Amino acid sequence: MKRHHLRYNFNNRRKPMSEINVTPFVDVMLVLLIIFMITAPLMKTGVELELPDVNTPNIPESDEPLVISINKNKQVFLSDKKINYNDLTPKLLAMKRANPKIRIFLKADKVVSYDLLMQVMKQIIDSEITNISLMTNPKN
């Protein structure tokens, strides 16, 4: 009877790959970094205003407030959308119904008259919103 010997060559065995090729990962990260660097400045939106400089404490924000702005041309903006002065109360009433804990940040250019500011404040109060903050720039 003939015997078969199994031969196993230990020298030809492949070694497991212990290195990870990170080049594709680095390429993807660099592309993402470039995309974010290009788009970040474009995300800055809002109404251009020159706020008055006053020493006031910073108020910590718990949730995103609604910002009402009045620019030097006496135009009223809700967030960053221009709104007709007469449409402010109905819109605010609808927002108050949707979110009873709504907070308003009111900001006005420093050349805006006190009279106009108070008219907008009255519309906010007529909307049954009592959590109102006036925005200023911190004084250096």
The secondary element (H helix, E strand) that includes residue 67 is: strand 66-70
DSSP3 helix / strand / coil % (the chain, rounded to 5): 35, 15, 50
Contacts of 18 (CB under 8 A, 6+ apart): none
Determine how many CB atoms are found less than 10 A away from the CB of residue 49.
Answer: 19
CA dist 50 and 132 (Å) reads 20
Whole-model pTM? 0.55
Each residue's pLDDT, cut to its tens digit, for the chain (140 residues) gives: 556 555 555 555 666 667 788 888 999 999 999 998 888 877 766 677 777 777 765 544 446 788 888 888 888 888 888 888 788 888 888 888 888 888 888 888 888 888 888 888 888 888 888 888 888 777 76
Residue 33 CA to residue 31 CA, distance in Å, equals: 5
